[in-house]
Amino acid sequence: MRRLLLAAAALVPALAAAGLTPDEEALVRAVKDRSPAALELLERAVRVNSGTLNIEGVREVGAIFARELASLGFATRWVEMPEAMHRAGHLLATRSGSRGKRLLLLGHIDTVFEKASAAPLWNRAGPIVHGQGVNDMKGGDVVIVEALRALAKVGALEGATITVLLTGDEERPGTPIAVARAPLVEAARASDVALSFEAIARDKDGGYRAIPGRRGSSGWTLEVEAKPGHGAYIFSQESGYGAVFEGARILDAFRREIHEEGLTFNPGLAAGGSSIQPDESTASATVSGKVNVIAARMHVEGDLRFLDPAQHDRAVARMRDIVAASLPGTHASLAIHDAYPPMPASEGNLRLLAAYSKASDDAGLGAVGEIPATQRAANDIEFAAPFADSLDGLGTNGRGAHSDEEQMDLASVERGAIRAALLIYRLTR
């Protein structure tokens, strides 16, 4: 904690004293005054199904937030994606100035709940609400808007350079991902700081933790081919071992032989038989085969999570060596599909966390700790991290993300907006 507090002082030296200035106290009051309206905004957004492939729904939610941001003086536009990508696009909103750090605020307006989902859209029970994407991450999107609205009310947006990007396919990115994330990379290159409003973590003891680092993510596809033949002759010199045994050998060797702290690889789909028809659009495969026929094919899809590029390269090299050591009568190939670059917990990111923690503590909301990179999956902010100091986990808190039980603590909208408003205010002074 001492390192974090010292880092915060280096980032915002004028605020060495604890507590809030009169202008910052006005910011907090502005957030609190808007709390009922903030929950109404949240409900409007959550009541619209915006599963990634529900293009009309994603655009409708984007329009809700576009109106809010336009009312705060942001220039808004919808960033279209190529038609072949079958994605809705992204909402981009900008304000230009010359004071303080240039900020990029990130959220996403799509959810994992597609149009046919039976999960409740909005079901409030006292201080808790269940809903599709309420915590992941429409709550975080509302935190962005409410923090900016409070800043506008006290005149603190004037002169600031702030870009807001709400992506429409974070849960299921369009391909090629380099095209899908090109607007994010462009915005990050023009920014000093990137803040992402995915859910903040809350410990059992009530403490909060944000995310200064995330692991990178790549996909991999293993294809195995073998001689088809009568099952009675498997293991013979003429027939070989078949595709399923070769695939099993490879996967088990991955498990036994590749070990590094922070590195994981997960085969999420595996199919073997006489014939296989993978379907990328549904993440499934159609398989046919007979128990008395040697399997001619095996198809495996997995992911690879890594802390830095060097770890990625070491893992891939070892995987390729294992794949190349084929059993008799088989041949295998490994394709790597790089997706999310890693976001190391750099000194700049740790300074941001320290500044965020100080803002939270000054507001009486308690200090904010750090979530290790190994405890979080890939996220859009990783495309910004190579170009700007970055911090994630500034949104609301709840549980059950990506399930029919997803829920959010309604009071966390106000808490998140207070923290964000103070941090943005201090960074843009």
Percentage above 70 pLDDT, the chain: 96
- Tell me how far apart the alpha carbons of residues 406 and 127 are, in angstroms, rounded to a whole number: 14
Same-domain status, 147 and 41: yes
pLDDT, average across residues 402-410: 96
Q: At what angle do helices 411-427 and 35-46 cross, to 10 degrees?
A: 110
pLDDT at 280 (0 to 100): 79
The domain boundary, picked from 292, 313, 340, lies at 340
DSSP string, 339-396: EE--B---HHHHHHHHHHHHHHHHTTS--EEE--GGGS---GGGGTTTTSEEEB--S-
The domain boundary, picked from 289, 310, 340, lies at 340
Q: Is the pLDDT of residue 14 over 60?
A: no
- Tell me how far apart the alpha carbons of residues 113 and 238 are, in angstroms, rounded to a whole number: 50
Q: Residues 212, 379: contact at Cβ < 8 Å? A: no
pLDDT at 341 (0 to 100): 93
Q: Is the pLDDT of residue 105 over 90?
A: yes
Q: Is the pLDDT of residue 11 over 90?
A: no
Same-domain status, 49 and 169: yes
Q: At what angle do helices 242-257 and 309-324 cross, to 10 degrees?
A: 140
Please state, in angstroms and as integers, the Cα–Cα distance from residue 346 to each residue in 115, 271, 307, 351, 419, following that order: 39, 40, 12, 9, 22
Q: Half-sphere exposure (CA, 13 Å, Cβ side) for 372?
A: 6
How are beta strands 368-370 and 208-210 bridged, if at all? parallel
Same-domain status, 184 and 36: yes
What digits encode the pLDDT tens for the residues 314-346? 999 999 999 999 999 999 999 999 899 999 999
Q: Is the pLDDT of residue 12 over 80?
A: no
Please state, in angstroms and as integers, the Cα–Cα distance from residue 426 to each residue in 24, 36, 156, following that order: 9, 26, 10
Any idea how long the chain is? 429
What digits encode the pLDDT tens for the residues 168-217? 999 999 999 999 999 999 999 999 999 999 999 999 888 999 999 999 99
The domain boundary, picked from 317, 340, 363, lies at 340
Look at the chain and report how many structural domains it folds into. Answer: 2
- Residue 41's domain comprises 2-214+343-427
Same-domain status, 383 and 336: no
Same-domain status, 64 and 199: yes
